[in-house]
DNA sequence: CATGAATGAGGCTTCATTCAT
DNA sequence: GATGAATGAAGCCTCATTCAT
């Protein structure tokens, strides 16, 4: 499949990352064999090692790149707006859209954490915690301003994140609902869920 | 660990299920070897086959048993109450408590779906769909009675389920929050999220 | 080759050791593949692992067993005689005969030291040093009694050992010389070499 | 190590030989990878092939160069003296000093014989036999003149060679003994060992 | 019911070598 | 002369599964 003969260095690396992402998503890291990956890229198994150092490194590379992009883009998305409510809206919209667009990266970043070496594990989990702290911060600011409920902010955040992240499990772009509809619905649900006034 | 030498038939099967559940939870189905499992149970690899027919069957057995229990207990929990709101409260309470108590079964029932043979996959996914339908039914009834919002019930249900199920990822019994606190908080959040009056 | 079908456990282990010894002797540890070894034994490669834990362990097992036997037999050989000269004669006779009889074990015990893991290396080298000390002790006792020269005993011992050990490189049982002839000649050379009177 | 970037042709070849000698000495021919060698030289693997034709050729080149030098130098050393005893003394002194000075070349010339292709093997072994014949010749001449014992000259020679060659295994320049001391001691031992008068 | 030895496939990784640039 | 990407074979080792005892 996808034989990119005559491909040069960078192209091959890119092809490995792309195919690797898909195969890990579909079969899981443990279940994906490098044989399979190489076949998908259109090279010999041994040739993979001109581009990656180990199978583990391939996984780590994918997850780290994902987390870096995620954090970067979130920063951009939140920089644009002021006020706790607007920021919560922006967070929900960004998170949902990003998770729909990159459902495979997101999925393996959760499901394959346990396949990481201890060091790599710590790195990724640390980045994830940074991400969560952004939402927690918004909730706390909102609660401080009397906009949101004063419930435990981390636990509230975990609930919201789980709910929003769930979309990459079931959302289908051609389903009953558009991404816009979904963002609107989930924004309303989240605002209601944390709504202090009432 | 758990070397129960001299164990007789049913006890061994039980030990296999218990150790299998833990090992699959900790390492994943693909990454768990029968050698590992046998060592944990305290028997030789070959002896496993006096109790299970294949590795795949062990997984399927665990997942099916889990889903059967889940559905059964949900039925009991919902049978006790009347009215959409009370049923929604009962659902949230049941789901959260059950997922906290059986986090390993719940986790592998999501994460190892892809490790199932096609037939087994259909069976388990079918049972899961039954479970989801119970919540969807409650939401629709509540919407019909004007208690809940009239948003897309399945999508709303998916959001709620994802949020509630998330607890088995992060909840620690000795953490800041008791299970009761958590149930209360999440019940409120869910009711707010679907609350139609406003 | 050498298909011992229907062979049971201990027999297989023995066959592995025997074939392993020969192959390591002929090709060297690094150059001997487990494929090759398994074929020689008449089993599949994977089946080797029912008897050995790693390739390294196979090597270590062979070397340790060799050194243990060597030390044991030397003790027996020296226990039978009294006096430094008689002991030196006994040492030479024992060493030459043993090294002729077990030339393969002896050879790999020198040549494959570097293939051992650090721990295993220390163990074997330690046993070798014990062996050398026996000869050094005899030389020192003899020198003390005025029978042998008073030259540096360890260096003298190394020279003697190298000379005697050399036999396993070139001695052929059907050659010009019998083992008895060889023992006689080398005994005389060694006694002359260390002879103090003069 | 030894990264001599910008090295030109002959220098690179020299660096390859030097590093190759050391790596083969330390790890063995089979265990030394060209990757390892290239890294040591400071070039890429592929670049090695601008200087050597195969890995086997690298080995053969090292061994042949060693044997040529050895034979040449021996000729020089023996040309200087007359008489069997003086020649034996010269042989011992030369052999010990050379083997101390070039212990790595000497060692691999024994240990890696088996790694040579049949043709290369014959060439090197032939040169070795030439070398041995020089000592055998001396012993026979000495025996003919009544200076040495009339024992089997080749076997006597093998014993002497083994003893002398052993030095490259254990001799340390900063040890208890200087090279001069060693030459003196071993010369005496050898003369005693072959001494006919007595 | 448990054992341990066997199978055959397949896992990740390294290797010597080639060759277009 | 050097590079780096590719090859294809082979390395050690682990796997799920079977079966005679």
Q: What is the pLDDT of residue C2?
A: 38
CA distance, residue A42 to nearest chain B CA (Å): 25
pLDDT, tens only, D41-60: 999 999 999 999 999 999 99
**Helices (H) then strands (E): counts for chain A:** 9, 0
Q: Do chains C and A touch (3 or more CB pairs under 8 A)?
A: no
* Residue C198 pLDDT > 90: no
Distance C178 CA to E1 C1' (A): 59
CB of B160 within 7 Å of some strand F atom? no
Q: Is the CB of D46 under 7 A from strand F?
A: yes
Structure tokens that stand for B129 in this block: 């769909």
Is the pLDDT assigned to residue A54 strictly greater than 90? Answer: yes
Are B28 and A115 inside 8 Å of each other by CB?
A: yes
Please report, for residues A17, A62, A115, A128, B197, the alpha-carbon distance to residue A58 in angstroms, rounded to integers and kept in the order given: 7, 6, 12, 19, 51
**DSSP three-state, residue C54:** coil
Q: Note the pLDDT tens digit of each residue in B14-24.
A: 999 999 999 99
Distance (Å) from CA D118 to C1' F13?
A: 32
Q: Which long-range contacts (CB under 8 A, 24 or more apart) does B77-85 make?
A: B78/B134, B84/B138, B84/B139, B84/B141, B84/B142, B84/B145, B84/B147, B84/B148, B85/B142, B85/B147, B85/B191
For residue B169, pLDDT over 90 is answered with no
A35 touches strand E (CB under 7 A): yes
Judge: C28–D155 Cβ closer than 8 Å, yes or no.
no
> In this structure, what DSSP letter does residue A49 have?
G
- What residues have CB less than 8 Å from C177, skipping those under 6 apart? C171, C185, D152, D155
Residue B169 CB neighbours (<10 A): 14
- Per DSSP, chain B holds a count of helices (H) and strands (E) of 10, 0
Residues A23-44: what's their mean pLDDT? Answer: 96
Q: What is the pLDDT of residues B28-65, one digit of tens each?
A: 999 999 999 999 999 999 999 999 999 999 999 999 99
| A88 pLDDT higher than 70 | yes
pLDDT at A4: 42
CA A124/CA A193 separation, integer angstroms: 29
CB-CB neighbors (< 8 A) of B26 in chain A? 114
8 Å CB contact of B190 and A185: no
C-alpha B90/C-alpha B76 separation (Å) is 10
Tell me the CA–C1' distance in angstroms for D21 and E15: 20
Mean residue pLDDT across chain B: 91
Closest to C163 measured CA to CA, from C126, C140, C137, C135:
C135
Provide the 3-class DSSP secondary structure of residue B187. helix
Chains C and B touch (3+ CB pairs under 8 A): no
Whether A138 has a pLDDT exceeding 50, the answer reads yes
> Which contacts of A7-14 are long-range, i.e. CB under 8 A and separated by 24 or more positions?
A7/A42, A9/A50, A9/A51, A12/A41, A12/A43, A12/A47, A12/A50, A12/A51, A13/A51
Mean pLDDT of D66-91: 96
Spell out which residues of C between 12 and 51 contact strand E, using CB within 7 Å: 12, 43-47, 50-51
Q: Which residues of B101-132 are buried (b: 16+ CB within 10 A; e: fewer)?
A: ebbbbbbbbebbeebbeeebeebbeebbeeeb
- Token representation of residue C48: 């080797």
Confidence band for C197, pLDDT divided at 50, 70 and 90? very low
**Short-list D140, D159, D158, CA closest to D150:** D140
CA distance A34 to A29: 10
**How far apart (Å, rounded) are the C-alpha atoms in residues A37 and B172?**
38
At A166, is the secondary structure helix, strand, or coil?
Answer: coil
Asked whether the beta carbons of A90 and A81 are under 8 A apart, the reply is yes
Q: At what angle do helices B84-101 and B103-111 cross, to 10 degrees?
A: 90
Q: Separation of CA A33 and C1' E12 in angstroms? A: 9
**Rounded Cα gap, residues A80 and A60, in angstroms:** 31
- pLDDT, mean of residues C137-146: 96
CA distance A157 to chain B (A): 10
The span from the CA of A128 to the CA of B51, in Å, is 41
| Number of residues assigned to chain B | 198
Q: Which residue has the higher pLDDT, A172 or B6?
A: A172
Q: Print the SS3 string covering chain D.
A: CCCCCCCCHHHHHHHHHHHHHHHHHHHCCCCCCHHHHHHHHCCCHHHHCCCCCCHHHHHHHHHHHHHHHHHHHHHHHHHCCCCHHHHHHHHHHHHHHHHHHCHHHHHHHHHCHHHCCHHHHHHHHHHHHHHHHHHHHHHHHHHHCCCECCCCHHHHHHHHHHHHHCHHHHCCCCCCCCHHHHHHHHHHHHHHHHECCC
Q: CA triplet A38, A39, A45: central angle to 5 degrees?
A: 35
Least confident of B128-132, B145-149, D4-8: D4-8
Chain A residues whose beta carbon lies within 8 Å of the beta carbon of residue B148 = none
Under an 8 A CB cutoff, do D115 and C28 touch? yes
D31: CB within 7 A of chain F nucleic strand: no
- Measured CA to C1', the nucleotide nearest C52 is F13
| Residue A151 clears pLDDT 80, i.e. is over it | yes
Do residues C194 and C161 touch, judged by C-beta distance below 8 A?
no
Whether C158 and D189 have beta carbons less than 8 Å apart is answered as no
Question: Predicted confidence band at A51 (pLDDT cuts at 50, 70, 90)?
Answer: very high
For C98-134, how does the pLDDT look when each residue is reduced to its tens digit (9 = 90+)? 999 999 999 999 999 999 999 999 999 999 999 999 9
Chain C residues lying within 8 Å of D192, measured CB to CB: 192-195, 198
pLDDT higher than threshold 90 for residue A169: no
Rounded to the nearest integer, the mean pLDDT of chain C is: 92
Q: How far is A97 from chain B (nearest CA, A)?
A: 15
Q: At what angle do helices A179-194 and B179-194 cross, to 10 degrees?
A: 130
If phi over 0 gives left and psi between -120 and 50 gives alpha, with beta otherwise, what is residue B82?
beta
Q: Residue range A34-57: average pLDDT?
A: 96
Q: What percent of chain A has pLDDT over 90?
A: 79
Please list, in sequence order, all residues whose beta carbon lies within 8 angstroms of the beta carbon of residue D5, skipping any fewer than 6 positions away: D42
- How many angstroms separate the CA atoms of C24 and C45, rounded? 16
Q: Which of B171, B160, B27 lies closest to B102, judged by CA?
A: B171
D contact set with C (CB within 8 A): 26-28, 30-31, 111, 114-115, 151-152, 155-156, 158-167, 169-170, 176-177, 182, 185-186, 188-190, 192-195, 198
Question: Tokens standing for D30?
Answer: 């089979």
Q: Is the pLDDT of residue D139 over 70?
A: yes
pLDDT at residue A196 in the model: 53
Are residues A177 and B152, on separate chains, in Cβ contact within 8 Å? yes
Q: Which helix (H) or strand (E) holds A104?
A: helix A103-111
Lowest mean pLDDT among B3-12, B185-194, D70-79: B3-12
Determine what percent of chain D is predicted with pLDDT higher than 90: 86
What's the predicted TM-score (pTM) here?
A: 0.88
Lowest mean pLDDT among B192-196, C71-75, D53-57, D128-132: B192-196
Amino acid B10: pLDDT: 80
D13 pLDDT band, cuts 50/70/90, is: very high
B near D: at least 3 beta-carbon pairs less than 8 Å apart: no
Rounded Cα distance between A156 and A149, Å, is: 10
């Amino acid at each position: 499949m996808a034989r990119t003969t005559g491909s040069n260095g960078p192209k091959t690396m890119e092809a490995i990352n792309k195919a690797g992402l898909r195969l890990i998503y579909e079969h899981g890291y443990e279940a994906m064999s490098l044989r399979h990956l190489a076949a998908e890229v259109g090279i010999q198994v041994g040739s993979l090692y001109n581009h990656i150092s180990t199978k583990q490194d391939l996984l780590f590379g994918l997850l780290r790149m994902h987390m870096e992009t995620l954090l970067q883009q979130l920063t951009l998305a939140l920089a644009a707006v002021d006020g706790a409510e607007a920021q919560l809206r922006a967070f929900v919209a960004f998170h949902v859209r990003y998770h729909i667009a990159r459902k495979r990266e997101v999925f393996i970043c959760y499901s394959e954490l346990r396949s990481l070496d201890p060091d790599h594990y710590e790195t990724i989990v640390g980045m994830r915690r940074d991400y969560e702290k952004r939402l927690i911060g918004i909730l706390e600011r909102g609660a401080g301003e009397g906009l949101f409920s004063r419930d435990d902010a981390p636990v509230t955040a975990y609930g919201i994140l789980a709910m929003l992240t769930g979309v990459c499990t079931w959302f289908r772009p051609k389903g009953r609902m558009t991404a816009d509809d979904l963002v609107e619905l989930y924004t309303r649900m989240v605002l209601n869920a944390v709504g202090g006034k009432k």
